[in-house]
Amino acid sequence: MNNYPHPIIAREGWPFLAIAFAAALLASQYLGGWAIPFWIIALFVLQFFRDPARIIPTDPKAVLSPADGRIVVVEKTMDPYANREALKISVFMNVFNVHSNRAPVDGKIEKVEYFPGKFVNADLDKASIENERNALVITAANGQTVTCVQVAGLIARRILCYVNAPDMLARGQRYGFIRFGSRVDVYLPLTARPLVTVGDKVSATETILAEF
């Protein structure tokens, strides 16, 4: 995968931005002051698809957050993708968060699995097993297994993933995108030490979720 330079605005949003701003400009020309709602929509689309560069922590033991958002789960449970007991940490993204997904660790992708499913609120626990989702099982540089799962949400209708097995990932590398509100589940070895708690706000790449 080519890890394209951060363009500030995610490439996934360019068509939506073109349509939104064209509509706003036309509305301004023909509707005058009634065009304000069109500009509000255009600005919302602009903020949704922002894609800022991030500073990557260098601690080799760190597991980085793959998404912006809020921690909704920190628990021990089964990892159904790697068939093991694991520490699960889930990040919920609302429509005002950056929706680029970034690799939590350095490592090799062992498999990528896509599962069709429902579109219930991604804030709910059942979203992890019922919603449309895409899972990466990664062998990290230290030999540990890390599973990273993109989960669609209530109004998300498209999971984008740009990597495949046996690609190599670099921590902080942009590997996917979810439109328009969703979550990412990370499954770690039981020996991992979580550094976040439920309710914490996190930033993709810059926040360390755990150490292992």
Its sign, for the CA torsion 32, 37, 43, 49, is negative
Whether residue 182 lies in the annotated active site: yes
C-beta separation of 119 from 152 below 8 A: yes
Neighbours of 205 (CB within 10 A): 25
For residues 53-66, b (16+ Cβ closer than 10 Å) or e, as one string?
A: ebeeeeeeebbbbb
Instruction: Check 28, 128, 182, 203 and give the catalytic one.
Output: 182
**Angle made by CA atoms 73, 77, 82, in degrees to the nearest 5:** 110
Q: What are the residue numbers of the active site?
A: 182
